[in-house]
Amino acid sequence: MVDLKVYEEKMENTVSVLKEDFNTIRVGRANPHVLDKIRVDYYGMPSPIQSVANISVPEARMLQIQPWEKSMIKVIEKAIQTSDLGINPSNDGSVIRLVFPEMTEARRKELSKDVKKKGDNAKVAVRNIRRDAMDAFKKQEKSGDLTEDDRKVAEDKMQKLTDKYVEKIDKEVEAKTKDILTV
């Protein structure tokens, strides 16, 4: 009997990466996860902003970043400005504020296309995992480790697993698109 756990874990990882990717997409509301990919220089080490400051959401469209060391304000501000976030930070000497503007209809549509593209890429990754599994089954059959019937059963299970994960990806894409298009 063939163990599909390895392939299922790879597919699960693909969905997890997609979810993390979706968290960094900025919608109309303030979400601390948009800062996840931004790194700041903290004593020579690139560190996530979350590890050098406290991040809070005082209002629906505002993030407040309070560094634990005042010397980090300029560093964090510069990192945000050079990122692809598209928001200009402002500070009062102790706190950095990011105000998220309302998104235009065109920007929402552009983001939903981007979400769909990321979802399609994740589906391709899942299908590549399936292809690798199918190739492995055929090799096992040729080497005599697997009978033809066992190979067919394994391929059928692999197809069902693939369908399950493609459906999960579709649900994630649908949920994120709905989130983006909701005004």
Find the domain containing 42 and state its range. Answer: 29-99
CATH number, domain with residue 174: 1.10.132.20
- Whether residues 117 and 168 fall in one domain: yes
* Res. 49 pLDDT band, cuts 50 70 90: confident
Half-sphere exposure of 96 (CA within 13 A, CB side): 27
* Res. 1 pLDDT band, cuts 50 70 90: low
Is residue 24's pLDDT more than 80? Answer: no
Q: DSSP of 36-101, one letter per residue? A: TT-EEEETTEEEEGGGTEEEEEEETTEEEEEESSTTHHHHHHHHHHHSTT----EE-SS-EEEEPP
pLDDT in tens, 104-147: 888 888 888 989 999 999 999 999 999 999 999 999 999 988 89
Q: What's the structural domain count of the chain?
A: 2
Neighbours of 67 (CB within 10 A): 22
pLDDT in tens, 59-99: 878 889 899 988 888 888 888 888 877 788 888 888 999 88
| Cα gap 65→61, rounded to integer Å | 13
Domain boundary residue among 99, 130, 153?
A: 99
